[in-house]
């Protein structure tokens, strides 16, 4: 239905519809909230969870997308 973006979070509102075999429709609204954090913050959280950050990869954007950084982490040895 819509997406809202600010400095701290991105919220995507979706309309979910379920249709039973008999044709009954059940509708509900669902919000996905994604917290926007820096790669440094994600690496610190991964480390605290017992993962070892090993690499960062830049993902370039398209005309209607934002650039991203992927943080790769492995299970600690």
Spatial separation of the C-alpha atoms in residues 36 and 8, rounded to whole Å: 5
Residues 12-35 pLDDT 10s: 999 999 999 999 999 999 999 999
Rounded to an integer, the average pLDDT of 33-44 is 94
Q: Give the model's pLDDT for residue 77.
A: 62
Spatial separation of the C-alpha atoms in residues 75 and 65, rounded to whole Å: 30
pTM for the structure as a whole: 0.64
- The pLDDT > 90 percentage for the chain reads 78
Rounded to an integer, the average pLDDT of 37-59 is 95
In this structure, is the dihedral angle defined by the CA atoms of residues 33, 39, 41 and 44, taken in order, positive or negative? positive
Q: Distances from the Cα of 8 to the Cαs of 4, 11, 43, in angstroms?
A: 11, 10, 17
């Amino acid at each position: 239905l819509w997406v809202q973006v600010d400095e701290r979070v991105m919220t995507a509102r979706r309309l979910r519809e379920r249709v039973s075999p008999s044709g009954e429709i059940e509708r509900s609204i669902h919000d996905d909230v994604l917290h926007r954090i820096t790669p440094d913050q994600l690496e610190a959280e991964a480390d605290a969870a017992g993962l070892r950050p090993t690499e960062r990869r830049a993902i370039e954007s398209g005309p209607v997308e934002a650039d991203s950084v992927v943080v790769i982490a492995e299970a600690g040895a």
